[in-house]
Structure 1
Amino acid sequence: MSSPAGHDDAVFASYRASFTEGRGFLNFASYGPPSRPVRDRVAHLLELAADGSVRSGDTLYGEDLRARESFARLSGFPLQNVGLTGSTSLGLFQVAFGLTGGSVLVSAGEFPANTYPWLRTSAAGRARVDLTGGPGTRMTPDVVARALTGDTVAVSVSAVDFRTGYRADLAGIRTVIGPDRLLVVDGIQAFGVADLEWTLADVLIVGAQKWIRAGWGVAALALSARGMERIEPLLTGWTGVTDSRRYDGEEHPPLPGAQRFSVSNLSPYATGALAEALALIETVGIPAIEGVVATHAQALIGHLPAVGVPVLSPRDRSDTAGIVVAGVPGRAADALAALADAGITATLHGEDRIRFSVHATTRSDALGEAATVLAPFA
């Protein structure tokens, strides 16, 4: 594994030493194994819960704020504009049902978490969905521009496409949709390993379980002032309103910031894990992590063609993040089994594709080995 240029080697070595995933784990786009600090924090919080004291309760409930503060620093959004929700899917549903009219442009090739909310809100008679393209469509600024209509009020895209690894040009999309339409960004396949200008988005939703490496049960939700103004907190709950502990039987007004989208109290073990994972990212910085991830991805992109395996994901360093897709025509299931036998974890995408995804903690020797295993299936 290479060291990120311009960064403190000792700090980065400490960061890497925090993780203990298997040598052949190349599946971060599915989930990211948590670090020791995350595991230790969750264990500590469980001990506090078992204690049951008032002070323990204060710490447990305080994990939400720790996570929000760290996410605000890493994303660039003001703390007031950062909230937490249960998952990327739930956050997208909350945003989708918060739009009252017009149409929302979404790629039909998106991960289903970013299509079903729009389909459901359209069926409910709120914002209509306008699907474009299909599996493998790159949502480039040109594609978005051609699909816009006079009714388009928002565009929803993934920062990095789960299927192809394509990194969206958020600045270009922001330019073509203009200042009056909302840009909704599913950041789960990018946040933590891609140094993007997140504040170009009016809504950013990021689940914790993949590249952030914090496990399941929580997602961060950040909104611009424009997004806050236009998205109603329709799918919200008692923790998203003022005076939430005044049980008077009346409907209370929503909180002023992004916390208005809170549905209920989240698990302190999930929010504590997120806070700890984000704090670990902050110790080295996303640009440093991105640099090593890019180096590993480029190395794998080089290994695969060398043994006759085509690369189906973008090859240019600026167009991708940590996802590399190998083409294995008609033999992907057998190839995945061979990888598993070799101790390499990846994801099967249909009959012809295997998706690898690398992180800054990936072992370099696993990349060449993965290509070697696939060679007979090319």
Structure 2
Amino acid sequence: MIQAHATGGLPGYAEHFEEPEGYLDFARYGPPSRDVLAATADALTHSARAGHTTVDDLMRAEPRAREAAARLAGTDADHTVLLPNASTGLFHAAFGIPHGTVLVPATDFPANHYPWRRTSALGRAEPRWLTPGPDGLITPDTVAAALTDDVVALAVSAVDFRTGQRADLAALRETIGDDRLLIVDAIQGFGIADLPWQAADVVVSGGQKWLRASWSTGFATLSDRALERLEPTLTGWTGIEDVALFDDREHPPAPGAQRWSITNLSPVTAAALAAALELVEHTTVRAIEAHISTRVDQLIDTVRSCGGEILSPVTPADRAGIVSFHIPGIDTATVAKALHTYEVTPSVRATSVRLSPHASTRLAAVDRVQAALRSLT
């Protein structure tokens, strides 16, 4: 048995969760809180006892979640829209650009690739793939070297899914200037990294990872510049003015971010997202970020002490909650098997193993990693 340390997760936050002690895969999926479970069950229970006010009552979760997302992103509800996932937001952004070149990291997560491949196939925006430097990073200098007059936008991830490297959003905004759009996939950082989201014109995030709202939850925020420049190509019947007026005519798109709405989303998932976001607000992003940073430091020290090579940034200001590593001479499947034996849940790639703790992660999880890696030697 592993000797558990008394040190638990972040007080006031960790008490809301009950994931296994060795769960270190929040960059893939964040087990939801009891608050989210209760909100989901309550909404479903109400829907099962439907009356003449049930649908309207349930729909109140949507503005609640939208307002919470807006506060955390540093904007307002008029510039925020709920979405079922981050990919939907990226497709909205991509299809909203009628022409021009969009800079996209070639090593980014595929969710930020396929929207641009599809727009290219339709003769709209064309992607220009950015190759990272020797350090594997897309820096402001990398972007500056690729800027030409035809570039209309830059689409990046706030946090690299492989290494946890943070993008310098403020520097990227300064590099591309105010005449181009900055589109950010925030799913690996929103709610756990205190980043300047206001520097971006489009911020999209799903709620199933670090926000711990489970699947089919997400949102986007749009700046005034994005609302002005992005065509509402995918606007549906719920994204228009006078949405409740059924007069058999085409209505203009809603003036704010609601124009990205295609149809009504589930009020059940909206209730779950609202509960998750409000817990982050109550705890504060800075407190969550600080606890995660401590656990990341401990995991880095542990992996190194067991002969592992760290592939993630080691400076707190450069990273989020991801620790990627490999052990020379030992394949990742073998490392994964050892971690599973000690009831540790990582993400396993062909050439690396990824550990991602949250603010509910106990120090005992680090003990488990240490015991697993030592068993390999």
**Which of 16, 23, 43 is 1:45 aligned to?**
43
Counterpart of 2:248 in structure 1 is 249
Query: What SS does the corresponding residue of 1:314 show, helix, strand or coil?
Result: coil
Alignment of 1:1-378 (within 5 A): 13-133=11-131, 137-329=136-328, 331-350=331-350, 352-375=351-374, 377=376
| CA deviation profile, 1:264-322 (whole Å, cap 9, x unmatched) | 11111111110000011111110111110111111111111111111111111111010
Counterpart of 1:7 in structure 2 is none
* 2:202/2:223 contact within 8 Å kept: yes
The amino acid of 1:344's aligned partner reads V
RMSD (Å) for aligned C-alpha atoms:
1.7
* 1:297/1:322 contact within 8 Å kept: yes
Query: What SS does the corresponding residue of 1:374 show, helix, strand or coil?
Result: helix
| CA deviation profile, 1:78-116 (whole Å, cap 9, x unmatched) | 211001112111110011000011100000100000111
Residue 51 of structure 1 and its aligned partner are, at CA, apart by 1.1
The amino acid of 1:91's aligned partner reads G
* 1:235/1:261 contact within 8 Å kept: yes
Q: Percent identity?
A: 46
* 1:309/1:375 contact within 8 Å kept: no
TM-score calculated relative to the size of structure 2 = 0.95
The amino acid of 1:183's aligned partner reads L
| CA deviation profile, 1:134-173 (whole Å, cap 9, x unmatched) | 6983121111111222111000111100011101111111
* 1:346/1:356 contact within 8 Å kept: yes
* 1:107/1:137 contact within 8 Å kept: no
Greater alpha carbon shift after TM alignment, 354-363 vs 335-344: 335-344
**Structure 1 stretches of 5 or more lacking a match?**
5-11
Counterpart of 1:8 in structure 2 is none
The amino acid of 1:276's aligned partner reads A
- Pick closer, same or farther for the CA change 1:91–1:171 going to 2, 3 Å: same
Greater alpha carbon shift after TM alignment, 367-376 vs 67-76: 367-376
Higher helix share: 1
The CA distance in 2 between the partners of 1:292 and 1:175, in whole Å, is 30
TM-score calculated relative to the size of structure 1 = 0.94
Counterpart of 1:9 in structure 2 is none
Residue 377 of structure 1 and its aligned partner are, at CA, apart by 4.9
Report 1 or 2 for greater relative contact order, CA contacts < 8 Å, sequence distance ≥ 6.
Answer: 2
* 1:331/1:377 contact within 8 Å kept: no
Aligned residues: 370
